[in-house]
Structure 1
Amino acid sequence: MGTGLSHFRGFVAESFRDEGRAEGRVEGRVEGRGEDILRILAVRGVEVPDEVRQRITGCKDLDVLDVWFERAITASTADAVLGED
């Protein structure tokens, strides 16, 4: 006869899977946003020094990346995207 714990274990395992999927989606959005910023700058002909490229690709804060994305649309320099102009 079962103790009823198998249902609880299944629930816990499913919760971890859901949490992992959500984290994966956020990580994907973060990575994609950094790539979008660099793509916009490249299309616009804005030179991106290696240190700025690394800062953009290394950023894990989606809110910061969203600000940089909006700035990339009109910024004349990579430093202006980061707010350092």
Structure 2
Amino acid sequence: MQFVDSCLADPQAQQMWRDLMTAMQYFWRHPLAEQVREEGREKGREEGREEGRAQERAATILRNLQWRGIDVPDSVRERVLSSTDMEELGSWLDRSYQVTDARKLFADGS
């Protein structure tokens, strides 16, 4: 901020620059701005937790198939790992205890 201020020759321009910077700094310290930032952080944390739950469920499906000695083709692995739909993953998890072929996880056409 001081560098720009020192580059401005006109005292009026310097004052306008200082006023603008003060207003911007005030906004970022304002309680409303902090509330908005905190809501964004909380939303990010919740989305992160949900994504983590989906990843863990997908990993459980694949571990279960592996433990049962069922070969998992790359296409199945990619589809399971890319899903974020907890209901879909739950159905696949249930099926992972019964199928004899990993591709049958998706037997209902989903």
Q: TM-score, normalised by structure 1?
A: 0.87
* Cα RMSD for the two superposed structures: 2.0
Of 45, 51, 68, 2:75 maps to 51
Of 13, 18, 24, 2:48 maps to 24
Of 90, 97, 104, 1:80 maps to 104
Supply the AA of the counterpart residue of 1:37: I
Which structure's relative contact order is higher, taking Cα pairs within 8 Å and 6+ residues apart?
Answer: 1
Aligned equivalents of 1:84, 1:10: Cα separation in 2:
47
Count of aligned pairs: 83
Aligned equivalents of 1:54, 1:8: Cα separation in 2:
42
**Structure 1 residue aligned with 2:95:** 71
Of 50, 53, 57, 1:33 maps to 57
- The structure with the larger Rg is 2
Q: Which runs of 5+ in 1 are unaligned?
A: none
Aligned equivalents of 1:84, 1:14: Cα separation in 2:
42
Q: How high is the sequence identity, in percent, across the aligned residues?
A: 35
Q: TM-score, normalised by structure 2?
A: 0.68
